[in-house]
Amino acid sequence: MKRPSNLVRTLAAVSVIASSLVLAQAGPAAAAPGSRSAAQESDSKNCGIIGFDKATVVTETVAGAKKYTLVVSGVNPIAGVSVSLEPLVYVRQPEFWGIEVTACAPVIGLPVMTPYTEKLDVTHALGTKGVEVIGAFSTEKIPVRRDGL
């Protein structure tokens, strides 16, 4: 019974990535005003937003200063895809800083479910209340308490 569930999930993920890649290739007209990421500006790669399963912010103290690291994990649906975390660009600091989970794929890729974990130092990309992880299927706001900053 689990096999059809994985097949359905794989096909859904592949179709979402394919549609995201088409939107990314469409250029600036397809992007929301003021929220273009590095993935949407790429001309040489097929990039788009993919889903994630878990996102957390890890806080550590390094040389007396606090460092905040976003850790995102999920399943990559296509072989050869590189996953990255891309902070959005803002004119002023928002409440929750948007960070897209982006995948860049080769022109042709085989559907193979591969787990991924990506990390990003978000010390200088924090909103006044935290970060918002933006995936293909959902978004997650993660409050970050910044004592002493």
Longest dimension (CA), the chain: 52
How far apart CA 100 and CA 48 sit, in angstroms, is 9
Output 62 or 67, whichever has higher pLDDT.
67
Q: Which amino acid is at 132?
A: E
- pLDDT per residue as tens digits for the range 26-57: 343 334 444 444 444 444 568 899 999 999 99
Query: What percent of the chain is helix, strand and coil (3-state, nearest 5)?
Result: 20, 45, 35
How far apart CA 73 and CA 71 sit, in angstroms, is 7
- Residue among 109, 99, 88, 97 at smallest CA distance from 21: 109
- pLDDT per residue as tens digits for the range 95-128: 999 999 999 887 666 788 889 999 999 999 999 9
